[in-house]
Amino acid sequence: MSDDSRAENKLPKIYDIPLSEIDDFPGHPFKVKLDEDMDQLVQSVKERGIITPITLRQKEDGRYEIVSGHRRKKASELAGLETVKAEIKDLTRDEAIILMVESNLQRSTILPSEKAFSYKMRLEAMKRQAGRPSKDNSAPVGQNFDGRTSREVLASDSPDSHSQIQRYIRLTELIPELLDMADENKIAFRPAVELSYLLKDEQKALFETMNYADATPSLAQAIKMKEFSKNGKLTPEVMESIMGEEKPNQKEKFTFKAERLRQFIPSTVPYEKTEDYVLKALEYYHRYQERQKERSQER
């Protein structure tokens, strides 16, 4: 056998797999968004096909499960393809979880919730591979790792430290409404971590309080709520009191209901230009008052 033949045999075999036979990975933590990036990917697939094959594992029932390539699979569906190029790997479920997380953590933009659930899934898989049951996901457990904890091993292959990984995993304890706010950067990462220690009912009450106050807690306020919760004293009244505290370097802020302002603004003014229109109106009114004041002084 020639060197070229031997080299060719080592290359992964690529198959055309019907999209109808492919299932998403169970509990896949990374979101597939129908956004502008997806539109561009669909257009690329239409013009050039799938350049990088997706990775699949075959299930016990003969169907396939995506390990890597959920976006490429979705783009292929939207492009009207019936099959997709794929590499099929012989993996256990835990091996597939680890590979799925590794491949997705290479993305340039990852939401906090995506990191949270992917780290949790991979850590649990590592614990099972090490032969120990998964208990507290954030606990430093693990064996067969040369004396290191499973979180330390995970950190060595990840962009985050083991303590940062623990913080991300804490986010999985947030209710969906607060986790969405963390993804949208409406709640900063560290306050979100502290809020994850609140009971679910306390988190729901806090979400309502934040909506009412149109504000989110600072890190100091989140830590204070965590302490009140730990002592069983975090009532809605206490939340309102903490949220009402002035934050360091907090600037005075005015809030107006949109319907109160829009009744005085022409319908031709776009919604996003409301603030500019109001400021110009105030400037005009200020100049009008100054002129009135000058005229009264001249009399």
Average pLDDT over residues 42-54: 92
Average pLDDT over residues 252-260: 59
Task: Give the model's pLDDT for residue 18.
Answer: 95
| pLDDT mean across residues, the chain | 82
Close Cβ partners of 90 (under 8 Å, ≥ 6 residues apart): 57, 58
Max Cα distance, the chain (Å): 110
Higher-scoring residue by pLDDT: 233, 129: 233
Higher-scoring residue by pLDDT: 6, 156: 156
Sign of the CA dihedral running 139, 142, 148, 151: negative
pLDDT band at 134 (very low <50, low <70, confident <90, very high): very low
Lowest-confidence pick of 66-80, 144-158, 216-230: 144-158
- Per-domain residue ranges of the chain: 1-90, 92-173, 186-243, 258-298
Single-letter amino acid, residue 219: L
Lowest-confidence pick of 35-49, 101-115, 201-215, 261-275: 261-275
pLDDT band at 231 (very low <50, low <70, confident <90, very high): very high
pLDDT band at 298 (very low <50, low <70, confident <90, very high): low
The model's pTM: 0.66
Residue 256 clears pLDDT 80, i.e. is over it: no
Task: Give the model's pLDDT for residue 225.
Answer: 96
Task: Give the model's pLDDT for residue 104.
Answer: 79
Close Cβ partners of 182 (under 8 Å, ≥ 6 residues apart): 112, 113, 171, 174, 189, 192
Residues 97 and 66: beta-carbon distance below 8 Å: no
pLDDT band at 20 (very low <50, low <70, confident <90, very high): very high
CATH of region 1-90: 3.90.1530.30
Lowest-confidence pick of 81-85, 91-95, 122-126, 293-297: 293-297
- Sheet order of strands, 14-18 included: 14-18, 83-88, 54-58, 64-68, 22-23
pLDDT band at 83 (very low <50, low <70, confident <90, very high): very high
